Amino acid sequence: MSKIFSNTEDNISQAAEIIKNGGLVAFPTETVYGLGANVYDSKAVANIFAAKQRPKFDPLISHIAETDILREYAATDERVFALAKKFWPGPLTFVLRRTDDNPSIDLACSGLRTLTVRMPNHQVALDLIRKSGVPIVAPSANKYQAVSPTTAQHVLEGLGESVDMILDGGQCKVGVESTIIDLTTSKVVLLRAGGTAKEDIENFLGEKILISAGNPELPTAPGQLLRHYAPKNILRINVTQPDADDFYIGFAETDGDLNLSPSGNLSEAASNLFAFLRLADKSAKHGKIAIAPIPTQGLGLAINDRIKRASYKK
């Protein structure tokens, strides 16, 4: 029997009961599919780390459906709520200081005195969070460092034995994870490029934001490890002349076996990125993968971040 369920109201209610009872539910967001558990249930959160084979020093993002819940466990100010009002629901994650001493969320926060939180822009995700009655911690629903899932089938292929239920919401529209910004200091710091463009945040704030790659040995937010989102085959980036055994992923006028966006649309390219990496990895005719150069403005910053980490060689 398949673990993939359509996103009917009854099935979402069933998924919420699984969350309440300490189970794991994979669900769609606008970015990628998440592997969800009750943030306050440390045993369920531990099962996420085990299912993903993810090190416990790599913190997880909590997903909420109402901004008011931030006041329960995070230090907030006018800037936090102004950014939330502008960009939530949407692919933007905040790093905030914790204000509570609730040990049940220590594991989700990897023992840090900060937490990461966002409000997803997907109705199925929001309905599930509301019906569950708790924030849902949800990293991408894939094995650690593997290519992120953008369909329910991707989740089933990677984590089918470890998840209690998969809610199907179709293909994710954004296709790359959320942007992460640190709001614990006077200057906003970009920790991970993602589905919200850096330029859009800067335009709203009226100031430049700092960029930090973080410490890959002791990350303060997801997505800071040197190698991440990686296919099994060798991946080369910024390639203009592919080798004969390359599965070549093109962009704009640079064509290949697949093209992220023939029109050069970065949103389309981001949406296709992880799915195309999966298809390239499955090709029996090719031993390597190569990707054409991608511009770095807008969503291109997030795309280049993902493929750089996916191509990293130890």
pLDDT of 213 reads 66
Taking each helix axis from N to C end, the angle separating 9-20 and 123-132, rounded to the nearest 10 degrees, works out to: 50
pLDDT of 218 reads 67
Residue 79 has pLDDT above 80, yes or no: yes
pLDDT in tens, 253-270: 999 999 999 999 999 999
The pTM is what?
Answer: 0.92
pLDDT of 215 reads 66
The answer to whether 99 and 45 are in contact (CB under 8 A) is: no
Tell me the residue ranges of DSSP E strands in 151-245: 165-168, 179-182, 189-192, 210-211, 234-236
Q: Mean per-residue pLDDT for 187-197?
A: 95
Domain with CATH 3.90.870.10 in the chain: 4-211
pLDDT of 225 reads 72
pLDDT in tens, 218-241: 677 787 776 778 899 999 999 999
Residue 162 has pLDDT above 80, yes or no: yes
Residue 1 has pLDDT above 70, yes or no: no
The answer to whether 62 and 117 are in contact (CB under 8 A) is: yes
pLDDT of 128 reads 98
Place of tokens 């089933």: 156
Q: Give burial (CB, 10 Å; 0-12/13-18/19+) of 260.
A: buried
pLDDT of 221 reads 75
H/E element, 261: none
Q: Mean per-residue pLDDT for 285-293?
A: 95
Please provide the CATH number assigned to the domain covering 4-211. Answer: 3.90.870.10
pLDDT of 102 reads 84
Q: Give start and end residues of each alpha helix (H) in the chain.
A: 9-20, 42-52, 70-73, 78-87, 123-132, 152-159, 198-205, 266-282, 300-310
Rounded to 5°, the CA angle 95-88-68 comes to 75
Residue 295 has pLDDT above 90, yes or no: yes
Residue 189 has pLDDT above 80, yes or no: yes
